Structure formats: structure tokens, C-alpha cells
Structure 1
Amino acid sequence: MEIYNDNSRFISILSDYGFKVTFGNEEDTTFLKKALQALIASPIPIKTIEFIKNEMNALTIDSRSGIYDIACVDENNNHFVVEMQLSDYPEFIQRMKFYALHRFNTMVKKGAYRFEDLSKIYCIGILAVNIFPSINSFYNIAVLRNDHNEIIDDQMTFITVELAKFTKQTSDIQTDLEKLIYTMKTLHTVTETSQFPAFWDEEWLKKAIHEVDLRAMTAEQKLAFEMAISANALAVKNENKKIEEIRLVDKTETVTNALNMGLTFEQCSMLANVTLDFVKNIQEKLNKEK
């Protein structure tokens, strides 16, 4: 999913900067509270949200896989962990379990290893790509159940949203969750306010949209945005370099093993998908080492 558009008026909420100034806005949590309420499918409004610091690293960029976003707690001591995933990551559920169990272990340790009256943990994953190819629904909420679909435990709840599966048009959107997902998926493609759906005038969404409106940004905010783009581009470049280095090591090992097995240069070249010169250079190095 392309989240940067040079012609767009609005910064994508899916970007690291966009997420930080909307979901991660510590000065005004109006949007975050309403968004979390929608994501956990609760009819009860969240009154207050406090960001958890020092225990988990919030708002840091991992360009290889996604953005680890926020950890926070509401007035009822419900804990929330939100993870944004922009690229393909087959083991995403395992990472969600890791974050949720980290929070669980922290609670147990603070309670002197007592397990009664533990707070609820909501681990929320918002994904730009699909990770459940056999499931049609864009929204899934999971707790521990038995083989009769009866709830065994709901202290830890896992919620996933797959943006690619969301295809509703504005005329069909009714719930706050649908409004949220539509906004996250499409806002950066809009150029003028005349294109706004009616529900973007709701206070919680209006505040989020204002934060990512390039025309409403101060010089300092625009500088912060440009720096975020630059940092992300550098991170991607460095990560790609690491990937290429790993591939080079793998190809070198493959060719080395193939040569030691007595395969011809042509066979080694085809096996590792490298040039004949690459194979010859490896053979020369092996000869020098003998």
C-alpha cells in the first residue's frame, strides 16, 4: 500500500509521522480514545488514556516490518498495545503474542506474582496487507475459547484489522470502526475538503485530520515531517543494504558448497542464480586458501 503521495494534502495516518500525531498525540487523546473504543468493540466510552513510558519503547520505526506504535492504559486499568504493520510479515501474530505476554508478565511481577484480578490486555494489530487469506472479514477479535466456541478466558484479547480487505464505500459506512478504517486507508489520497465524507466532520476524526493536514502545519511541524520522511528513507536504505549483504553471504555459501561437491561452474551459476564470474571468483578464493 502506497502511503506517500506528493500531490496529497494530507499525510497518511499509516505513516510513522501520521500515526504519532494522531494515535500517539499525548496532548489531545480525543481521537485515540474513540479509536480504541471502536477497535475493541466496546459500547462504553473511554474517559481517560495514559501513555505507558519506559516499559515498552513506543513510537519507534522498524522499516523492515512496520512501526511499533503505542502502549497505554485507560481509567479502568485496561491495557492497550497497538502495532502498525505496513509490509508482509507472516509471523505477525507471534509478535502480537510477544507484546501481550510482555504486558502480562509486567502485571504479574508488579502484583508479586499473584494472578487474581489481572487487568485486561488488548493487543491490536492494524495491517496494510492480509495475513489471514482464508478469512474474509477485515476485522477479527480473538480470545481463548474451547472446541465448543465457549470463552475460557478473555483477559487477553487479540484484535486484527486488515486494511486491504476493507472495501466499503462511504454510503455503506455506519459504525465508528468502519469510519476509522476508511479514514486510515483513504485520507492521504484526498486533495480537497470537498471530497470529505460527512462523517469526517465528527469531532474525533476532525481533530485527527487536522493534525495531518499539510496546509495547517506550522513551519516546525513541516520540518519534523520532512525529517521523519528522511529518517525512514535512510532506514529503508540501510535495511535493504543488510538484506543484500545477507543474500550475498547465502549465495557465496551455496556456490562454495556446490564447488566442493564437484559441480561445474555452469551448474553452480544456475543453482545460486549468479554469474559465471561470481563462481570463478569464489573458486579462485578457494584455491588460494588451500
Structure 2
Amino acid sequence: MQRRIKTSRYIEILSDFGWKHYFGREENKINLINFLNSLLEGEHIITDLHYANVEEDGEHSSERKVVFDLRCIGDGGEHFLVEMQLQNQDFFFDRAVTYTSRTISRLAKKGAEGNGYELPPVYFVAVLGFQLNKANDAKHYYSAKIVDQFDQEVLYEKLSYKMLVLPNFNKSKTELSTIMDQWMYLMKHLNEIDELPNYLDKRIFSRIFISESVV
């Protein structure tokens, strides 16, 4: 007997189309706000955001253009670069630094107006389908800032890197203790779910399960 393959009722989040569908559309931006707030819990709260151009030209014609998956600006002026990378990339940290550096360079005010060097906060957020460090296969969430290597004092609050490593996330539905846990579980298991389950916060996830998401 031929095995029946279960197909999802919902658009796969971890696809280019699904990523833009759930997080990149104005009518669904509450999903992105909720997702980002789950990462920033205890650190910052976003109440609103607007989408920005995902393409960034180099300052010179010879420089390579950068294209972000999603770029948005919070109501407090903070900038978010939101990436999904499922395939292994050897120099992913280099990519993260390149993206944030390009953004910061663009945000720096020119001339006398920039003498104070004040910048808005910049967050690089990535959902990864590969392990950053194969020797540490239990770590599914990285949160980094510029810190002093001796006493871990945060030297610069305005630059943050948040990375979710899906292969290392192995919690069951009964172990989901935070909204971030619930987002990671949903990203890995949406194709196995037919309707909004009671272990996901209905206030946060109801829009994922509305009829327009059915394929």
C-alpha cells in the first residue's frame, strides 16, 4: 500500500512566499510585531512599525547591492533587518555584520548635523535552518550585543543580533514556556497542524490560522 503524504492546509512559513505573506504584508504586520516582541521581551516593546525598502545600494557604483528579506522601522525609530536563511552559509556572521554596517552607514547623518554621532537602534534578526555551532546543538537562541570580554558589561545597547536556530529547537508542545518558544514550534510544525491548537496563544497566533492562509 502506498503511503499517504500529509499536506498542510496553510502556507509554509519557511518559504519565501510564506515569509512575505505572514510577516511582510501591511495587513499582517501585527504578526511581525508579535514575533519581534517575543524576541525583545524584557528589553524593548514595539507598538507599531512600518516597512522600508529592502534594497540598499552601495555608496559607490562598484559596491554590491544588498537585498534584505524584510526591513522595517519601529515606532521609536529603531531599525529591524529580518532574515530567513535555511541553507547553510559558512560566513553568516560576516553577512550579519555586513548588513548592519551598511544600514548604520546609511543612517549616519552627514555634515555638521552628524557631529553628535547619534544613531537609532539597529536589530539584526535571523531565523536559521542550520546550526551555527555544531558543537553546541542545544542552543537555539543567540542574543548578542557589543560587550566587554572581561566583565560582560554591555558597551553599546543600540546594536543587537538575535538568531533563532531551528534545528536545535526540540521542545515538545507541552514544554513551550514563552511566546518565542511558540513561534519556533509553529515554524517547525505548521505543516502538521490543522487548526489553532490550545497550546498556542490565541491572541498572538489567530491570524496565522485564518481562512486566507489556506491553500
Query: Which has more helix, going by share of residues?
Result: 1
Percent identity over the alignment is 25
Extract unaligned runs of 5+ from structure 2. 58-66
TM-score using structure 2 length: 0.83
Q: Say yes or no: does 1:169 pair with 2:159.
A: no
SS in structure 1 of the partner of residue 7 of structure 2 = coil
Q: Say yes or no: does 1:79 pair with 2:82.
A: no
Question: Cα–Cα, structure 1 residues 162 and 78, in superposed 2: closer, same or farther, change >3 Å?
Answer: same
Aligned 8 A contact 2:123 2:162 in 1: yes
Q: Please give the root-mean-square deviation of Cα atoms over the aligned residues, in Å.
A: 2.3
TM-score using structure 1 length: 0.63
Q: CA deviation at 1:208?
A: 2.3
Return the letter of the residue paired with 2:147. Answer: R
Q: Which stretch shows the higher mean deviation, 166-175 or 108-117?
A: 108-117
- Equivalences for residues 264-283 of structure 1 within 5 A: none
SS in structure 1 of the partner of residue 90 of structure 2 = coil
Q: CA deviation at 1:82?
A: 0.6
Q: Say yes or no: does 1:139 pair with 2:141.
A: yes
Q: CA deviation at 1:122?
A: 0.5
Structure 2 distance, partners of 1:208, 1:56, is 30
Q: CA deviation at 1:110?
A: 5.6
Q: Say yes or no: does 1:123 pair with 2:116.
A: no
Q: CA deviation at 1:6?
A: 6.8
Structure 2 distance, partners of 1:36, 1:164, is 20
Structure 2 distance, partners of 1:171, 1:133, is 26
Please name the residue that 2:30 is paired with: 30
Please name the residue that 2:60 is paired with: none
Return the letter of the residue paired with 1:179. Answer: Q
Structure 1 distance, partners of 2:105, 2:190, is 37
Structure 1 distance, partners of 2:208, 2:118, is 35
- Equivalences for residues 129-208 of structure 1 within 5 A: 129-135=130-136, 136-147=138-149, 148-190=151-193, 192-193=194-195, 196-200=196-200, 202-208=202-208
Question: Cα–Cα, structure 1 residues 13 and 84, in superposed 2: closer, same or farther, change >3 Å?
Answer: same
| Superposed CA offset, 1:129-181 (max 9, x none) | 11122333100100111122111112110111100000111111021100111
SS in structure 1 of the partner of residue 146 of structure 2 = strand
How many pairs does the alignment contain? Answer: 198
Query: Which has more strand, going by share of residues?
Result: 2
Aligned 8 A contact 1:143 1:154 in 2: yes
Question: Cα–Cα, structure 1 residues 208 and 42, in superposed 2: closer, same or farther, change >3 Å?
Answer: farther
